[in-house]
Structures are given as C-alpha cells and as structure tokens.
Amino acid sequence: MPATYLRKRFLGLLVGVSLFLGTFLLVSSAVRALQPRPAPAASPPAPLIAADGVSKTDRSIGSLQERLRQNPDEQRSQTALAFGYLQKAREVGDPSYYSRAEGLLRRAHELAPDDAGALIGLGSLALARHDFAEGLEWGRKAVARNPYGAVGYGVIADAEIELGRYEEAVTTIQEMVNRQPSQASYARVSYARELHGDVPGAIEGMRLAVDAGQAGTEGTEWTRVQLGHLYFNSGDLASAERAYAQALAFYPGYVYAKGGLARVAAARGDYATAIEVYVEATQAIPVPELVIRLAEVYYAAGRAEEGARQQELVRVIQRLYAENGVNTDLDLALFNADYDFGIGSAVEQARAQWAQRRSIHVADTLAWALHKSGACQEADGYAREALRLGTRDALMLFHAGRIAECAGDPARAAGLLREALAVNPYFSVRYAPEAQQALQALAAHAGG
C-alpha cells in the first residue's frame, strides 16, 4: 500500500539540542533564502489528455515500448520505460507496474552497472515496495556514482526518514537542496519541517514546491494536494478546499484531489457529499487511503454494512500489493488495530517493523496496537517515542492521549487530547468525536 496507512508522501533521536537545531535550521534558512520560480498557473497548462484520449504517461510508455521492440538492449530506454511504469503505478494505483519496472531496471543495471539512472530507479522501486533498507543502499550507490546530481539524495532522504534516521535525513535533504532547488527538494524540506512540528514552515516549503513545477502535470498537482493536506491537518478547511479544487481544475478527474474535497465535506458533516465524491474517486481508482476514509464516513453516517464492504475491499487491495512485492505489514497492523481485527497479529507485525526501523510512525502504530491488546503501560512508552520530534499530528496525539488515559495518567491524557483537537478539530470523522467525549469524561471524573 503506497505510503503508510492514512499517512504521507515521500515522500530524531534525542540528541544535543544545539547540534540538532543547528542542522535543521540550516535546511529551514536555506530554503527560505531561495527565491521560488514564478508560478506557472497564470498560463494555461498543456492538456494531460490528448485529443485522442491518450494520457501523456501512456503516450510516453507507448513510444518507449516501440523503441525497445526495435532495439531490446537499449539501456536508457529500459530505464526510462521503468520510470514510466513507476509513474503509472502512482497515477492509477496498480502495483503490477512495479513488477514490470523491476524487470526493466534489473536488465538496465546489468547492461550498465554504474548508470546512476538505473540505480535511482532501483532505489525508487525499493521505496515504493517499502523495502527502505534496500532503497537506502541503492540511493547511496547512485550518489557515489553521481555525487553532483540531486535525485539520488532524495532516494537516500526518503529511506532515512522511513528508517527513523531523522538527523541524517535533514543533512541529506540539505545536500539535495544545495544541488538543485526544485519541486522534489522543496517537498522533502516541507516534510522534514512537518515532522519536526514546524507546520507554517512546512506550508511555506510545499508552496515553493508547487510554484517550482508546471501547473497541470501530475507531479505538480500531487504536490498541490499535499499542500491541501497540510492545511487540512492544521484545521484550515477553507485553504485546504481551495488547494484541492485548484488541483482538480488543473488535472480534471484527479482522484487524490477528489479525495481531499470529500474529506473536507466529511469534516463539515456533509456525509452525503463526502460519500458521493469518495465513491466517484474510488470507482475510478481504488486508492487504499480513500477506500478507508469512505468506510469511515459510511460508519459515521450510520451505514455500517456499506462501511464493512469497504473494509473488505481494503483487504483485497492489500493482498494485491503484497503479491506485487509491497510490504504492507505496518499498514495492515494499523488497519487491524483500528477495527479490532486480529490484535495479536497486529502487535506482532508492528513489533517486526520496529525491529527493522525506528520511525515515529512505526512507534505510533505499535503503541496503538499494544493499547488495543490491553498492554497500556508498554504502549505508553512507544506513544511517547512517537511524539519525540514534536510532530503536530492530531491522530498521533489522540493515540497518545487515549493510551495515557489507559495507562493511568488522566492529566497527561487530557492535555494530549486537548492538543489533538487544537491542532485539528476535524482530524478524523471517527476519532475527533471520541476525543471530545473522552475529554468530557476526564473532566467529569476530575470534578467528581
């Protein structure tokens, strides 16, 4: 399943404060000093779908396939076609394109072992399949081959973040920015800032990322959707809605933008509109995170049977990703913990992930699964670990608050729940009302 369940994009251990802040502020100040390119939104973007109904990505794939039919061992075309398949996988949510890309990249690497493009492709594929240690290895090989290129640093940074090596990731992202201030590097700066609790800085970075690209391309509109998510996650529904609507205007039919608009509708309590838009989006492309959110809205609207059908669809999608080499264990652990399916298995899956990578999102998932299993004291330790960077994530704060309550610390629980709702009172159609109710119960208990 792409990205972590209901989480992000690309996409710190407790260290000496002066050392850590010095490194991170280098990223912040460097990006703020850079001047964004003029936003291309003033001129109409080129159409994504040609008059004959063929998308740009499909047209490029077709051209490269024809070239390889004529010359099967043309290494650069193999690499380019593999990247086309990786792009197509993101656009349509079909993980079978990963397998197609893998064969091409392996052959391209055999033909030219030192080619940085093939190395970056193999690293990107490993990241897409959630093999972050392998992605890191390929990224390092790409940078060793071409230390002046920026893209290899992006592969390394993404892997370092998912492995929980946040201090190293900040340094790597700075190297990427230094080599090429671009949409890709700005977006990673944004994510690094967000992880460390600097939401205004994250919004600034993602605005730079949007402005650095061409309006109407899938990459730019995906980035604009991420800007919308930052607004949404800070409780600014109006700005989020504008960003999603702009992305949809530039890229008609874009399911990620539709999903954002549906999420805003659900946050406003307009479940009928949210369901209508989610259904439209998921029928076009069953993106896992949108299917999960549709299930939540069905339950919130009192349509449990339809919500259960969406849950089963999620399981089918997860199996499809697993069959195509994507490690979905962490996604499945959080999903099962949320819906109380096989909690023991969820704990085991999350523990296995924690043994491999010490990221805050793994800690959060393990904490939540342990909480659901009744191991509240152990869960509390992992919940604290999940918040160690100061991330302003309402769902993580909610998890930590409920776990603190279960662990017998009502004062801390109330503080965390209040913070979650202050960050984003609309963070979940399922859990935001629960946070309110829990706060009221804690206040009543304290008063009694």
> What residues contact residue 33 under an 8 Å CB cut-off, 6+ apart?
none
Output 235-241 pairs: Cβ under 8 A, ≥24 positions apart.
235/423, 235/424, 235/425, 235/426, 237/264, 237/267, 237/268, 237/426, 240/264
Whether residue 246 is contained in a domain is answered as no
0.85 surpassed by pTM: yes
218-245 pLDDT, tens digit each: 999 999 999 999 999 999 999 999 999 9
Structure tokens at 394: 């309402």
Give the CATH number of the domain where residue 83 resides: 1.25.40.10
Q: Which of these three, 192, 215, 238, is where a domain ends? A: 215
Q: Among residues 183, 215, 247, which one ends one of the domains?
A: 215
Nearest-angstrom CA–CA distance, 395 and 53: 41
**How far, in Å, CA of 288 to CA of 93, rounded?**
9
Judge residue 446's burial from the number of C-beta atoms within 10 Å of its C-beta, 0-12 exposed, 13-18 middle, 19 or more buried: exposed
Q: DSSP states of 240-266 as a string?
A: HHHHHHHHHHHSTT-HHHHHHHHHHHH
**Distance between CA atoms of 131 and 263, rounded to whole angstroms?**
30
pLDDT of residue 292: 95
CATH number at residue 383: 1.25.40
pLDDT for 414: 98
The conformation of residue 286, written as its DSSP 8-state character, comes to: -
SS3 content of the chain, % helix, strand, coil (to 5): 75, 0, 25
Residue with tokens 């091409």: 104
How far apart CA 263 and CA 267 sit, in angstroms, is 6
pLDDT at 5 (0 to 100)? 43
314 domain residue, yes or no: no
Tell me whether residue 442 is in a domain: yes
In this prediction, residue 55 carries a pLDDT of 77
Rounded Cα distance between 401 and 347, Å, is 19
pLDDT at 47: 44
Tens digits of per-residue pLDDT, 132-191? 999 999 999 999 999 999 999 999 999 999 999 999 999 999 999 999 999 999 999 999
| Structural domain boundaries enclosing 427 | 373-447
Whole-number Å distance between alpha carbons of 216 and 221: 6
Is 390 within the bounds of a domain?
yes
**CA distance linking residue 177 with residue 172, whole number of Å:** 9
Please report whether residue 365 resides in a domain.
Answer: no
Regions of the chain where pLDDT drops below 50: 1-53
Number of domains making up the chain: 2
The last residue of a domain, from among 189, 215, 241: 215
CA distances from 314 to 125, 156, 256, 288, 310 (A): 22, 30, 17, 6, 6
Does some domain include residue 110? yes
CB 143 within 8 A of CB 156: yes
Domain membership of residue 48 (yes or no) is: yes
Six-digit token pair at 62? 């077709």
In a domain, 25, yes or no: yes
